[in-house]
């Protein structure tokens, strides 16, 4: 089980410099992140590359969320282009987006 940054042991930057090999071993083989502090403030968390990749993947938004956000941006763009504060209906926007996508394929 991987510990979280909140429960990870904390060491100073000076200690990290002196014991880097041991810390690296702990992160990789014991799957324990280590918080590195400087002047009593947490500055970084050292984790294994495998854990970093997993965390990066988890931070990526779901493809459906990306599509919704793209539609929202397109809607706002179309809305700004309308003269006199007119708006574009969602149906019209979806048709325009579909047409643009089909043209690009």
Which CATH architecture describes the domain 10-59?
A: 3-Layer(aba) Sandwich (3.40)
Question: What is the percent of the chain where pLDDT is above 70?
Answer: 84
The band of 42, judged by pLDDT with boundaries at 50, 70 and 90, is: very high
Per the prediction, the chain carries an average pLDDT of: 82
Q: What distance in Å separates the CA atoms of residue 33 and residue 45, rounded to the nearest whole number? A: 6
Residue that has been written with the tokens 């931070």 in this structure: 59
Average pLDDT, integer, range 79-84: 66
Average pLDDT, integer, range 36-57: 92
* Cβ-contact 47, 36 below 8 angstroms: no
Residue that has been written with the tokens 């000076």 in this structure: 14
The band of 61, judged by pLDDT with boundaries at 50, 70 and 90, is: confident
Q: Where are the alpha helices (DSSP H) in the chain?
A: 13-18, 20-29, 49-59, 63-81, 90-104
Say which residue, 84 or 23, is predicted with more confidence.
23
Q: Which of 59, 68, 66, 93 is nearest to 78 (CA)?
A: 93
Does this model's pTM top 0.75? My answer is no
Say which residue, 6 or 22, is predicted with more confidence.
22
Q: What is the pLDDT of residue 48?
A: 93
Residue that has been written with the tokens 């990290």 in this structure: 16
Give span(s): CATH 3.40.1620.10, the chain: 10-59
Q: What is the pLDDT of residue 50?
A: 92
Q: β-strands 10-12, 34-38: how paired?
A: parallel
């Amino acid at each position: 089980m991987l510990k979280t940054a909140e429960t990870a042991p904390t060491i100073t930057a000076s200690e990290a410099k002196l014991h880097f090999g041991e810390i690296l071993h702990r992160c990789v083989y014991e799957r324990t992140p280590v918080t590195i502090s400087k002047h009593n403030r947490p500055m970084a968390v050292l984790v294994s590359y495998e854990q970093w990749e997993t965390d990066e993947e988890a931070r990526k938004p779901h493809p459906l969320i990306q599509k919704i956000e793209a539609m929202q941006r397109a809607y706002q763009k179309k809305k700004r282009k309308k003269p006199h504060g007119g708006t574009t209906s969602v149906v019209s926007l979806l048709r325009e987006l579909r047409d643009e996508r089909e043209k690009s394929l």
